[in-house]
Amino acid sequence: MLSLPDLCRQAVTEQRPLIELLAAHPEIRKHVDRAALSASATPTTTWARAV
């Protein structure tokens, strides 16, 4: 099961950008591609400011 907190912890532990883990996750890839994730992770979006 997808857990955003788990992916965040993994990103910190592995010192990798969260967007890389999101883009590589099969459940997320079903719905959005890397370009869509990048577009939603701009500094002006709500979730990007919260991370």
**CA distance linking residue 25 with residue 27, whole number of Å:** 6
Report the pLDDT value the prediction gives residue 46, as an integer from 0 to 100: 59
**CA distance linking residue 45 with residue 43, whole number of Å:** 6
Query: pLDDT band at 2, cuts 50/70/90?
Result: confident
Q: pLDDT digits over 12-43, tens only?
A: 999 999 999 999 999 999 999 999 988 887 76
Report the pLDDT value the prediction gives residue 45, as an integer from 0 to 100: 62
| Exposure letters 2-38 (e unless 16+ CB within 10 A, then b) | eeeeebeeebeeeeeebbebbbeeeebeeeeeeeebe
